[in-house]
Every structure is written in C-alpha cells, then in structure tokens.
C-alpha cells in the first residue's frame, strides 16, 4: 500500500476506494499473521527474528514484519483465495524465518 496508490484511488472515485479498502484489509490480515509468526520464532536461538532483535532491537522486528508483509502481498497480488491463505502464509514463514 503506497501513498501513490491511495491518491490514485481517491482521484478515481468510490469504486476504486472500495477496492482499496479490500486491499488494505488483506494487508492487515497478512501483517497480523506475519507478526504472529515472528513472535512464535522470536525465542528460538539463531532464528532470523532472534538475530534481528539482538542486532537491531524492536525497530528491526518492525522492519522485518513490514518487509515480509510487502513481499507476501507482492507474491500473491493476483491470487484468489479459496481457503488456502493460512497454508500459504505458513509455508512462506517457514522459508523466511
């Protein structure tokens, strides 16, 4: 979700704003699942979140959550979910964390 995307949706009218709302809702759902995955692996010595916390603190974890959310969103920008969202995000997190 970028400022440019927000501005374009605003200029295009209500239909674009409705689509934007749906995109934002999906972004929040994804972000929540990413943060939950980071939290679950935070205590594991040598895990990516554990290393980032030690090196960069909580600000580094925030950056990691945003980067992973953006990456997952980009990978699945055209995906129509039929119940496999949680399986896909779990696979993604296993690879990344």
Q: What is the pLDDT of residues 86-95, one digit of tens each?
A: 999 999 999 9
More confident residue, 18 or 67: 67
| Domain residue spans of the chain | 3-96
pTM > 0.85: no
Look at the block and give the residue holding tokens 């990413």. 34
68 Cβ contact list (under 8 Å, min separation 6): 34, 38, 92, 93, 96
Task: Examine the pLDDT at 73 and tell me if it is beyond 90.
Answer: yes
Q: Hey, what are 55's tokens?
A: 């090196």
pLDDT at 60 > cutoff 70: yes
Task: Give the count of beta carbons closer than 10 Å to the beta carbon of residue 5.
Answer: 13
Handedness of CA 78, 27, 96, 85 (dihedral sign): negative
């Amino acid at each position: 979700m970028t400022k440019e995307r927000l501005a374009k949706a605003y200029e295009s009218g209500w239909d674009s704003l409705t689509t934007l709302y749906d995109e934002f809702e999906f972004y929040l759902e994804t972000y929540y699942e990413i943060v939950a995955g980071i939290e679950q692996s935070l205590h594991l010595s040598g895990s990516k979140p554990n290393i980032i916390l030690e090196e960069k603190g909580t600000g580094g974890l925030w950056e990691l959550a945003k980067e992973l959310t953006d990456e997952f969103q980009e990978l699945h920008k055209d995906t129509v979910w039929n119940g496999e969202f949680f399986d896909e995000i779990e696979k993604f997190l296993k690879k990344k964390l």
